[in-house]
């Protein structure tokens, strides 16, 4: 008699391996992410201004996500308000984005963000994070806001008030 079906032993092994992989992936989505936060503003909220008008829309979208996913009340500055973070486009920038943070004794004084033209949402999200004083987490999972390479827009773990359920 020929056996056309898979051996129950192999099948059982495959199911066990699959379960183990799912458990690992599941753990990866719920385990804490430690985001270094060495620098802080002394006041809140932090007011942003886009130097280039085409940046205003994307920047507002990114700030809205920060407000939605964390307790940071960051927003665009209104006319006459003192700006904390200035964002401008630099076509010659050697990286996708850079936040230059001026601080004294761990307190942030002022920040200037430079981005390449038409920055992606993850680039803006991460530079906003740097302007709030956050660094890159060690061994951040793929898609994390503050992951140094290939950041995403949905994993906010380790950021103040970051909602673990927003991972997806
Ligand atoms: Zn970064």
Please state, in angstroms and rounded to a whole number, the distance separating the CA atoms of residues 90 and 18: 47
What's the distance, Cα to Cα, between the start and end of the chain in Å?
48
Task: Tell me which residues have their CB within 5 A of the ion that is ligand 1.
Answer: 126
How far apart CA 138 and CA 135 sit, in angstroms, is 9
Spacing, Cα 4 to ligand 1 middle (Å): 54
78-116 pLDDT tens trace: 999 999 999 999 999 999 999 999 999 999 999 999 999
> Domain holding 113: CATH number?
3.40.390.10
Q: Are residues 88 and 153 in the same domain?
A: yes
The alpha helices in the chain, defined as continuous H runs, are 8-30, 53-69, 121-131
CA 109 to chain centroid = 22
User: Do both 71 and 110 map to the same domain?
Assistant: yes
The H helix count followed by the E strand count for the chain is 3, 5
Q: Specify the number of domains making up the chain.
A: 2
How far away, in angstroms, is 130 Cα from ligand 1 center?
A: 7
Whether 19 and 54 map to the same domain: the answer is no
User: The tokens of 60 are what?
Assistant: 């507002």
User: 133 and 57 in one domain?
Assistant: yes
Q: What are phi and psi of 87, to 5 degrees?
A: -120, 125
Q: From the CA of 125, how far away is ligand 1's center (Å)?
A: 10
- pTM check: above 0.75: yes
Structural domain of residue 151, as residue ranges?
47-166
| CA 51–ligand 1 middle distance (angstroms) | 21
Same domain for 94 and 151: yes
Residue 146 lies in a domain: yes
The model's pLDDT over 106-153, given as tens digits with 9 standing for 90+, comes to 999 999 999 999 999 999 999 999 999 999 998 888 999 999 988 999
């Amino acid at each position: 008699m020929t056996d056309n079906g898979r051996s129950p032993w192999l099948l059982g092994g495959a199911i066990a391996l699959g379960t183990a992989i799912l458990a690992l992936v599941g753990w990866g989505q719920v385990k804490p992410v430690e985001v270094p936060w060495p620098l802080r503003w002394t006041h809140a909220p932090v007011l942003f201004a886009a130097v280039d008008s085409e940046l205003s829309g994307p920047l507002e979208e990114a700030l809205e996500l920060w407000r939605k996913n964390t307790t940071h009340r960051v927003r665009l500055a209104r006319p006459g308000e003192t700006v904390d973070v200035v964002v401008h486009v630099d076509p010659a920038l050697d990286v996708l984005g850079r936040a230059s943070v001026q601080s004294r004794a761990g307190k942030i004084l002022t920040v200037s963000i430079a981005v390449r033209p038409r920055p992606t949402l993850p680039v803006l999200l991460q530079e906003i994070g740097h302007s709030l004083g956050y660094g890159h987490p060690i061994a951040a999972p793929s898609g994390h806001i503050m992951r140094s390479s290939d950041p995403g827009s949905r994993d906010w773990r380790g950021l103040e008030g970051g909602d673990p359920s927003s991972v997806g």
